[in-house]
Amino acid sequence: QPVLGILGGGQLARMLALAAAPLGVKTLVVDSAADACAGQVAPLLQADWTDYAALERFAAEVDVVTFDFENVPAETAQRLAERVAVFPNPRALAVAQDRLAEKTLFRACGLDTPAFVAVDTREDLDRALAEVGAPAILKTRRLGYDGKGQFRLRSAADADAAWAELGAPARQHGLILEAFVPFERELSVLAVRGRDGDFRTWPLTRNWHSDGVLSLSLAPAPDVGELQARATELARTLAERLDYVGVFALELFVRDGVLLGNEMAPRVHNSGHWSIEGAVTSQFENHVRSVLGLPLGDTAARGLSLMFNWIGALPDAAPVLRTVDAHWHDYGKQARAGRKVGHATVCAGDAAALAARAGTLAAALGRGAQAAPALALLGR
């Protein structure tokens, strides 16, 4: 029975382990926290990323290593790769860990990005603002997630405040200043590439964020036209350049009808959670299949899906459980402000049925405002 090792024990590892089980694949998760939520569904080895003795034991017990967490130190990934197959490969991980390397690669692949400039010093920030203009967003190059490590500048007058907040991480890992894009919409494309090079994408997903955290995803994204083929080609080019194996997400903005690359996540991604019930094969199952060298499954959508993220605390489950074709996911995490603690996906055969189902549910949960942008698109 193959054993899949997963670095990081959050909800993504948990959902990977749940998808691996029916394939006869065992999982072993590494996390520094004894109460990491994947530990509720899979064996957990408690270790830090630099506890090389523990990681050596881990490597001896698993057939393939993958990630729930993309910020595993490159050194750790590299050391593991000397002992056991690691997918995605450490070089792909390293590129996706660094916003500067990532955006540079996007451009090399023909994917435009918001204007950006590297910032290492306070003087760099002034130069970058002169080049990029305002409004702009200053971001740490590394280790940011859920909008953390970012400062939005309305004008050059905010430079001191931005530096007060991000000057310290700048000294460690560097920053990047990006033009703020007044995008029409945010999309993501989930893609998977197998060990044999087989490549597939799921339908584009439309995403809405709140305070830099994903709030709502609708799939397939309506009215994408030729953007679907373009996103698939860009994702394929990226995957081939990186010799990528596994699932990844490419986060995109649409401005003036054109795709701009925001970032890539070298792992399964929150905006693909709808695929558990809303696609023929979920992102989690295809990730397990791909890293183990198994044939990939069909990525087509079954009807339409709307995913609600539960941030901070879970609402009452009962209205979701009472809704036809709605699916409840409780990650088993402690409630904490800003934390992703669960999600729910509502599925239906067409837009009108989804709008009716999701609209009634959102109202019952008191989440009408969260659902509103998707319901408007679905014609309700």
Q: Which does 54 bind (CB under 5 to 8 A by kind): ligand ATP, Mg ion, none?
A: none
Strand pairing report for 199-201 and 185-193: antiparallel
Alpha-carbon distance of 153 to 155, in angstroms, equals 5
Known binding residues: 99, 139, 144-150, 178-181, 186, 209, 262-263
**Among residues 142 and 289, whose Cβ is nearest to Mg ion?**
142
Can you tell me which of 144, 174, 194, 266 binds ligand ATP, judged by CB under 6 A? 144
Does 373 help bind ligand ATP (rule: CB under 6 A)?
no
With contacts defined by CB under 6 A, name the span among 41-49, 174-182, 290-298, 309-317 that binds ligand ATP.
Answer: 174-182
Q: Is 240 within 8 Å of 223 (Cβ atoms)? A: no
Q: Is 50 within 8 Å of 26 (Cβ atoms)? A: no
Please, what is the minimum distance in Å from the beta carbon of residue 274 to ligand ATP?
Answer: 16
Please, what is the minimum distance in Å from the beta carbon of residue 265 to ligand ATP?
Answer: 6
Residues 102-107: contacts with CB under 8 Å, at least 24 apart: 102/263, 102/264, 103/176, 103/261, 103/263, 105/238, 105/241, 105/242, 106/238, 106/261
Tokens of 370: 């969260």
**Among residues 139 and 200, whose Cβ is nearest to ligand ATP?**
139
Can you tell me which of 114, 220, 261, 342 binds ligand ATP, judged by CB under 6 A? 114
Q: Which residues bind Mg ion (CB under 5 A)?
A: 251, 263
Please, what is the minimum distance in Å from the beta carbon of residue 293 to ligand ATP?
Answer: 28
Does 186 help bind ligand ATP (rule: CB under 6 A)?
yes
Q: Is 180 within 8 Å of 136 (Cβ atoms)? A: yes
Task: Give the strands of the sheet with 26-31, arranged side by side.
Answer: 44-46, 26-31, 3-7, 64-67, 85-86
Alpha-carbon distance of 71 to 48, in angstroms, equals 13
Q: Which does 70 bind (CB under 5 to 8 A by kind): ligand ATP, Mg ion, none?
A: none
Known binding residues for ATP: 99, 139, 144-150, 178-181, 186, 209, 262-263
Alpha-carbon distance of 327 to 346, in angstroms, equals 6
Q: Which residues bind ligand ATP (CB under 6 A)?
A: 114, 137, 144-148, 178, 180-181, 186, 209, 212, 251, 262-263
